[in-house]
Each structure stands twice: as C-alpha cells, then as structure tokens.
Structure 1
Amino acid sequence: MTPGEGPWEGRGEGPDEGLGAAQRRLAEAQGRVVAALVAGADPPEGFDPERIRRQASSLIAKRRTIVARIRPDVAAAAGRDLAAEFAAYARSRSAPPPGYRADADDFAAWLRERGRMPDPPRKPRWWSRLLP
C-alpha cells in the first residue's frame, strides 16, 4: 500500500464514512431488538424468539409492578385481572410512554375506556369556597 491508500480505496468511502455506515447498521439492529422487546415485533435474525418473548414479558411485568405502586387505584380497578389487562394494554401500543407516571395514567385511561375504572372525581373550583 502506498501512502494515502487504505482499505477504503476504490469503495468511495474513507475511514469516517465506513465507521458511519457501521454505526447506522448497529443502530438499525438495536432498533429491531428494542422493537421486539417493547412493541411485539419479530425478533431480528440470530436472536432466540423464545428468549426475546420471555424478556419482553419480564419488562411488561416490571412496568405493571411500578404502575401498581404509582396508581394503586388503577391496580384495584383491574383487580385480579391486572396482569392480563396490563399485558393487553402494553401489547396494544407500539412503544411505552415516556415515564412511569405517563404509563400509569395511560393505563388508567385504557381501563376507563373499557368500563373497568370510574371517571376521576371532579375537583371543586377554587372559587366555589367563596359561595354561600
């Protein structure tokens, strides 16, 4: 090899372009793994589908436990069906909402849409205290 030549000669890419392409491929592969774990997508080639399914179920169980701690009223409304209801809710979404509080509130709305949870009580307006 002469100075200035490298393994990229003849391919139209320099060392930075080759690294960028590798990073893009890695990001795409990671995106496919995440989609399989949180959105029910097919696992990428080379991954054990059963292990991905078990890990996805574990992540749903973790979210359910935290949601039940944040919103015990939601857990009470779902009752004994909490695990099945939360799994159906989680699988109906393409991705979890950003943060557990949002997840808990979205799950409450999901239950409310199905008649499993009453509407939240209306808070009195501040000015209603001034009325006789």
Structure 2
Amino acid sequence: MTGEPDLAEDRRRLAEAQGRVVAALVAGAAVPAGFDPERMRVQASSLIAKRRGIVARLRPDAAAAAGADLAAEFAAYARSRSAPPPGYRADADDFAAWLRERGRMPDPPRKPRWWSRLLP
C-alpha cells in the first residue's frame, strides 16, 4: 500500500502534463518543456485545418461567407477560444456566429411560426 500515494501523485502530474500539451495544441498555450516548438506549431496548424475542413462541410454557408479568407478567418476564430467547443456541430455553429458578429455572414432567415399557418 505504500506505493499508492506515489501512484496517485504520478497520475496527477501526468494529467497536468497532458493538459499542458493539449492546451498548446488547441488553445495556443506555451509549448511545454521537452517538446519541439516547431513540431508543436505544425501539429496545432494541422488540427486547426482538420477542424476547418469539418466545419466547412457542416456549415457550407459559413465557408462561403468567409470565402477566400476561410483559412485566415477560421485560424483567428480558433485562436480566440481557450478550447474548441464540445463537438464539431457546436464548433461549426460557433464559427458561423463569430462570422456573423464581424459582419461577414448575414443573419439566418426567420422561420415562420407553426401557428402562422392558421392565420387568415
């Protein structure tokens, strides 16, 4: 039983270290000691490109609104967040809202209320 506290402490330190690596990859945090900054930058860029591609497939209207600036706009959007939202659909919707806030995308058309069909 004497090894259990050490194991718990090791797990805690490992979780903290993993959190620093993830933060460097997805949130622009400082690169942890022992990691090649250039490789981390390349991997972070790759992850942003993957997210951008999925977001563009889920929200082609947002991709079209960003136009030729899609890569730069999505990179700026990703840097403005401390972490990606939970799930690609939320990421896509957040990106569309981010574009809308900057005047790059029109507001979505209002859907008629169900009861409006009943009005003469």
Q: Is 1:68 aligned with 2:50? A: no
Q: How many residues align?
A: 120
Tell me how large the CA RMSD over aligned residues is.
Answer: 0.9
When Rg is computed on C-alpha atoms for both structures, the one with the higher figure is: 1
* Partner in structure 1 of residue 30 of structure 2: 42
Rounded to whole Å, the distance in 1 between the matches of 2:107 and 2:2 is 60
Could you list the runs of 4 or more consecutive aligned residues of structure 1 that deviate by over 2 angstroms after TM superposition? none
Gaps of 5+ in 1: 1-12
Rounded to whole Å, the distance in 2 between the matches of 1:23 and 1:124 is 54
* Partner in structure 2 of residue 25 of structure 1: 13
Rounded to whole Å, the distance in 2 between the matches of 1:48 and 1:32 is 14
Q: Is 1:111 aligned with 2:99? A: yes
TM score, norm. by length of structure 1: 0.89
Q: Which has the higher contact order (CA 8 A, sep 6+)?
A: 2
Identity %: 84
Q: Is 1:52 aligned with 2:33? A: no
Deviation, structure 1 residue 130: 0.9
Gaps of 5+ in 2: none
- Secondary structure at the residue paired with 1:109? helix
